[in-house]
Structure 1
Amino acid sequence: MDRTAPSTAGDPTRTPDPAAVLRSRRYVGLLVLAALTGVPVSVAAYWFLRAVDLVQAWVYTDLPGALGLRPAPLWWPVPPLVLAGLLVGAVIRYLPGRGGHSPVDGFAAGGVPDPRNLPGVVLAALAGLGLGVVLGPEAPLIAVGGGLGVLAVRLARRDAPRDAAAVMAAAGSFAAISALLGSPIVGAFLLMEASMSAGAALGVVLLPGLLAAGVGSLVFLGLGTLTGVGTTTLALPDLPAYTHPDAAQFGWAVVAGLAAALLGGGIRRLAVLVRPHAERRTVTGAVVVGLAVALLAIGYALVTGHPTTDVLFSGQSGLEPLLVGSAGYSVPALLVLIACKGIGYGLCMAALRGGPVFPAILLGAAGGLALSHLPGLPLVAGVAIGIGAMCAVMLRLPMTSVLLPTLLLFSDGIAVMPLVIVAVVVAHVAAARLAPRPPRSPAPGEEPGNGRTPP
């Protein structure tokens, strides 16, 4: 900070005085710059999401009709997803930044992203998400917002210090994701918990980030009104009324947590197993994954009679039709959906680019619907514990995983929260226990691999 803030240079053990930081002129300048940056970043994020929606609608609805294929034939997902693999694989192979970080590694929080990587991130996301891969837009949005935040601070001051660039990167990410999850608070909460998991300091980042998220949410609302498209909302209407939890529902919450740990752990293991092979031949591996996802969607449609789009895409737009039309999904159909989308999710995480949030939400909702056929578990409770438990396993962010079902279920969210907390805690702990143990570093004087000290 400036001269009004105490410096910790040369003494990494000292913690800056929060009051002095807030009083410093430089911090006030960062707040102003964060608010100003939130506007263009949010505009870019809004049109990025609109572009993804337009590509999806054109490829899967308009193009088949223009070619005289109405309705679209069952094999239609094959060409778009093969093309998605080809394009995303080429971006990863040839452009700087490899199209963003791999979804297997979770959220990349903290640090100073390189703005030169932005074209690759945007191209990989538009090609993959627009053409139907089973990943969400949140990770590309975080990367784009962070890169634009760094670019803004460097344009304002060429010799800007690294800590100022890190604060603006976080503020840009907050602004970009502010309205994606239906509320700026949820997006900000996700980024804050991810940053804490990554060991980033939140003291000076929090206020600029929240300010940018608030500005970004207002921009999203304004653009939604101007374009007539509206904004994203995850609140699910028209669900059966829910009263209160009971002992049986708490028991099913434990079961849901354990089941999510097994399912999510399997998806993660699949992604980790496939990634080295996909990275060895980047373009070929991505094309093979795209083809495999298309075949999974076709197989699901053949077996269940439901559309291939249940398996394709992130699941963001398919969540409400699934829950509102839950009477049309039998338990076997839900299990096939979970299997096909789960395998596609794991494959896409291994070879392509995108975020893990929305596929986890849809898988959790489908699992909750299947569980709600058990005695003593209402639909709303089943969906809530399913979403919370699956998000806890796939995101490794337990607090965010509790908050998401609350937002989704609107008025019932508070009543069902105790069940969600139980499911999330069980899932988070069980997933950690089921995960492979990292190799132990040998102790001083110990030979690697045998646990014995040399003679």
Structure 2
Amino acid sequence: MSAEPAAGDGTAPPDPLAVMRSRKYLGLLVMTAALGVPVSAAAFGFLALVQELQSLTYKDLPRALGLDGTPLWWPLPLLAVSGLLTALTIRHLPGTGGHKPAEGRVSGGPATARDLPGIALAALASLGLGAALGPEAPLIALGGGLAVYAARLVRPGLAPSAAPVVAAAGSFAAVSALLGSPLLGAFLLMEASGVAGTMLSLVLVPGLLASGVGALIFTGLGSWTGLGTYSLALPHVPHATQPTVAEFGWAVVLGVAAAAVGTGIRWLSLRVQEWVERAGRRRTAVTVLAALAVGVLALAYAWGTGRDASQVLYSGQNALGPLIAQSAGYTVPVLLALVLCKALAYCASLGALRGGPIFPAMFVGATGGLALSHLPGLTVTAGFAMGIGAMSAAMLRLPMTSVLLATLLLGREGVTVMPLVIVAVVVSYVLVLRPWGRSVRAPEAVGGVKGSGA
């Protein structure tokens, strides 16, 4: 497929509609659909490996060593090893372990084949051993890079202008089932790309096709292996009542609070990143210290509340369901302690380790919303949903995706509280874009997919 003409050469760029009607574009669709199969299978394997590492290191290993259950101090050695392995990967393998999560996903084109091992290893070392980060950013990078690499093996003459479209399709396939719906994953990447008009359709059509294929592969592999799909889901959501005037007031409060907390998290995570990068030869030791801080926070939370340290560790994706299902058993002090410890662990992980920002932001927001639901005028489901949406907007700066994350996750109850979520998201989003929000070097949203001619 022909590349786009260079800017300033006096020729007009190709018409996206004409490109979409071309035979070469149809061939690209067939190729991206076919690539969706191995890419989504690789993404499934990556998620399965992360899950198994978490279970092996946190549950099985202590028993194998003769310990009576998992002791409170156990996260400390796990996080020390995580920091060590992540730092060594960043230092010695190409690609610096992928993007820096404190800065978000920078739009710099698909990862090269040379960088993929380092991205995978850094993410496994961070996510598998307790970092408070999610898997979506590594999956997006790995999916895009694998798709382009495979496409060039199949078609060595792949035009440079087609590579972004293939990379986008690979990213769509990789996250197709992670957020609970292939449509939600696709929407995340579309909004993050900033592509609009007919150019959006040019990238969107192969992406949606690969996403649909990927979701089928996730479902099939989950059924065949018995491991499930690793899809975000909440099986037990309390009934939501129709929104009240008081809850609209709480939506404003939650939006303001999320903007403040999100701005603080971004500021602190960037300071941690600056501290790590300025360490020079001591970077490995400083990364270990930052990772150990996550373990200390988990230990402090478990010791102070009697709850499981895993609520502070990891992405929080698997903890969202139990959190809302057992919300009646959480007191306000416990919920506030969880918000504080998880947010600080999130900052340390963003600044020093490797992973994605979505799920911890959702968990912090959900916990804060549940804490406020103990006050008059706010129900559990409404507080939970508004907290997710407002904090996602503060951290991701993707308002539409934030609304969908909070509402589609709750199913039928999410539709009921959607007006409240919209208000909370808009308030949070507007505030983080104000001058005091821009004073913090704003991270770009996860995704970074660029449109291009096919």
TM over 0.5: yes
2:95 aligned counterpart, secondary structure: helix
Name the residue aligned to 2:422.
Answer: 421
User: Over alpha carbons, which structure has the higher Rg?
Assistant: 1
1:116 aligned counterpart, secondary structure: coil
Contact 1:234 1:407 in 2 (8 A): no
Name the residue aligned to 1:453.
Answer: none
Give the alignment's TM-score, normalised by structure 1: 0.92
Summarize the alignment of residues 150-161 of structure 1 with structure 2, pairs less than 5 Å apart: 150-161=148-159
Name the residue aligned to 2:122.
Answer: 124
Deviation of the 1:17 alpha carbon: 2.7
1:115 aligned counterpart, secondary structure: coil
Summarize the alignment of residues 136-151 of structure 1 with structure 2, pairs less than 5 Å apart: 136-151=134-149
Name the residue aligned to 2:313.
Answer: 312
Deviation of the 1:20 alpha carbon: 1.2
Q: Are the structure 2 counterparts of residues 313 and 250 from structure 1 closer, same or farther at C-alpha, using a change threshold of 3 Å?
A: same
Contact 1:107 1:194 in 2 (8 A): no
Distance, in Å, in 2 between the alignment partners of 1:149 and 1:323 is 37
Name the residue aligned to 1:114.
Answer: 112
Distance, in Å, in 2 between the alignment partners of 1:13 and 1:275 is 44
What does the per-residue CA deviation read over 1:277-335, in whole Å, with 9 as the maximum and x for residues that have no partner?
Answer: 11123312210111111000001111111111110000011111111111221101111
Distance, in Å, in 1 between the alignment partners of 2:99 and 2:198 is 18
Q: Are the structure 2 counterparts of residues 136 and 200 from structure 1 closer, same or farther at C-alpha, using a change threshold of 3 Å?
A: farther
Distance, in Å, in 2 between the alignment partners of 1:349 and 1:201 is 32
Name the residue aligned to 2:447.
Answer: none
Contact 1:86 1:284 in 2 (8 A): yes
Summarize the alignment of residues 333-372 of structure 1 with structure 2, pairs less than 5 Å apart: 333-372=334-373
Distance, in Å, in 2 between the alignment partners of 1:41 and 1:131 is 24
Q: Are the structure 2 counterparts of residues 98 and 422 from structure 1 closer, same or farther at C-alpha, using a change threshold of 3 Å?
A: same
Q: Are the structure 2 counterparts of residues 6 and 40 from structure 1 closer, same or farther at C-alpha, using a change threshold of 3 Å?
A: closer
Summarize the alignment of residues 39-438 of structure 1 with structure 2, pairs less than 5 Å apart: 39-109=37-107, 111-196=109-194, 201-281=199-279, 282-433=283-434, 434-437=436-439
2:229 aligned counterpart, secondary structure: coil
1:80 aligned counterpart, secondary structure: helix
Are 2:34 and 1:36 aligned?
A: yes
Deviation of the 1:12 alpha carbon: 7.5
Distance, in Å, in 1 between the alignment partners of 2:264 and 2:197 is 27
The share of aligned pairs that are identical, in percent, is 59
Q: Are the structure 2 counterparts of residues 400 and 74 from structure 1 closer, same or farther at C-alpha, using a change threshold of 3 Å?
A: same
Q: Once superposed, what is the RMSD of the aligned Cα atoms?
A: 2.1
Distance, in Å, in 1 between the alignment partners of 2:30 and 2:414 is 35
Contact 1:235 1:407 in 2 (8 A): no
* RCO higher in structure (CA 8 A, sep ≥6): 2
Contact 2:98 2:118 in 1 (8 A): yes
Q: Are the structure 2 counterparts of residues 377 and 11 from structure 1 closer, same or farther at C-alpha, using a change threshold of 3 Å?
A: farther
Contact 1:153 1:164 in 2 (8 A): no
What does the per-residue CA deviation read over 1:417-445, in whole Å, with 9 as the maximum and x for residues that have no partner?
Answer: 11111100100111122324389xxxxxx
Letter in 1 for 2:220: G
- Structure 2 residue runs without a partner (length 5+): 442-454
Give the alignment's TM-score, normalised by structure 2: 0.92
Contact 2:33 2:206 in 1 (8 A): yes
Deviation of the 1:199 alpha carbon: 12
- Structure 1 residue runs without a partner (length 5+): 440-455
Distance, in Å, in 2 between the alignment partners of 1:392 and 1:200 is 26
Are 2:24 and 1:26 aligned?
A: yes
Deviation of the 1:7 alpha carbon: 7.0
Q: Are the structure 2 counterparts of residues 197 and 398 from structure 1 closer, same or farther at C-alpha, using a change threshold of 3 Å?
A: farther
Contact 2:294 2:345 in 1 (8 A): yes
Distance, in Å, in 2 between the alignment partners of 1:310 and 1:22 is 47
Deviation of the 1:14 alpha carbon: 3.8
What does the per-residue CA deviation read over 1:207-256, in whole Å, with 9 as the maximum and x for residues that have no partner?
Answer: 11110000000000000110012223433233321121121111100000
